[in-house]
Amino acid sequence: MALVVDSLSAAYGDTQVLWDVSIRIEPGEIVALIGSNGAGKSSLLGAMSGLVKKRGGTVVYDGTDLTALQPDAIVRAGVVQVPQGRRLFNSLTVHENLLMGAYLRNDKEIASDLERVLEMLPRLRQRYEFLAGKLSGGEQQQVAIARALMARPKVMLIDEMSLGLAPVLVDQLLEILTTINASGVAILIVEQDVQTALEFASRAYVLETGRVTIVGPTSQLLDDPQVQKAYLGV
């Protein structure tokens, strides 16, 4: 049931941005991916989601090879991204945004899943018929998470969730992620807020200019002088 990325390379046209990246996310695990601006974090999530062209390597989830699949098939396989910048449909309501998250499904449990997601994120029930574009940043991030949940993810790839949000809102979102994780969803969290990410996850990868340079338990990274100097401002 692990998500295994092996020796992944990716490029935009002639510009290679990832080299031989190998990461794995075990079932139920919370893993952090950290790195500076432009290190390739979003590109890695994009390549895993089928949105950025891969140049080599493989992505396998639970024995299924996702490497050559289209983005919709990857979502159907259970790997769902919450993109950087949230990418909501601003002129649609919260309700409609959540339904967009289920657009690949044709089962009869969409209504009960909506209810389950609203129980997890009660704020969205109050905002249900509001336009997404009119919500606060924290609420919009909740919509982005809820929309991903509507695709029934087994692994969530969450890109820069905390960007631009006050610490109290970030804490609320992390609590929501804890609940989601407790329901059996593995999480890869990409963060520029390294301290937060390392305190939240159990294992982490450091990406530097497109390559994994450090990997280990977060307790170990928090104590690593190199990590402290480069990312924790110690």
Ligand X SMILES: Nc1ncnc2c1ncn2[C@@H]1O[C@H](COP(=O)(O)OP(=O)(O)OP(=O)(O)O)[C@@H](O)[C@H]1O
Contact of residue 187 among Mg ion, ligand X, none (CB under 5-8 Å per partner type): none
Residue among 13 and 225 whose Cβ is closer to ligand X: 13
CB 47 within 8 A of CB 207: no
Interstrand relation of 186-191 and 155-159 (parallel, antiparallel or unpaired): parallel
Cβ within 8 Å of residue 219, ≥6 positions away: none
Strand partners, 208: 211
Cβ within 8 Å of residue 112, ≥6 positions away: none
In angstroms, what is the minimal distance from the CB of 128 to ligand X? 31
In angstroms, what is the minimal distance from the CB of 112 to ligand X? 35
Residue among 14 and 129 whose Cβ is closer to ligand X: 14
d(CA 164, CA 177): 18
Contact of residue 47 among Mg ion, ligand X, none (CB under 5-8 Å per partner type): none
Residue among 42 and 67 whose Cβ is closer to Mg ion: 42
Element (H, E) at 14: none
Token digits of residue 80: 């769902």
Residue among 52 and 77 whose Cβ is closer to ligand X: 52
CB 226 within 8 A of CB 214: yes
Contact of residue 43 among Mg ion, ligand X, none (CB under 5-8 Å per partner type): ligand X
Place of tokens 């919709």: 72
**Identity of the amino acid at 102:** A
Residue among 38 and 167 whose Cβ is closer to Mg ion: 38
Does residue 217 sit in helix, strand or coil? Answer: strand
In angstroms, what is the minimal distance from the CB of 190 to ligand X? 7
Phi, psi of 30 (to 5 degrees): -115, 120
Contact of residue 40 among Mg ion, ligand X, none (CB under 5-8 Å per partner type): ligand X
Does 162 sit near Mg ion (CB under 5 A)? no
Residue among 94 and 161 whose Cβ is closer to Mg ion: 161
List binders of Mg ion among 163-202 (CB under 5 A): none
Which residues contact ligand X (rule: CB under 6 A)? 12, 15, 17, 35, 37-43, 84, 192
- Which of residues 5, 42, 52, 200 is near Mg ion by CB under 5 A? 42
Residues at the interface with Mg ion (CB under 5 A): 41-42, 84
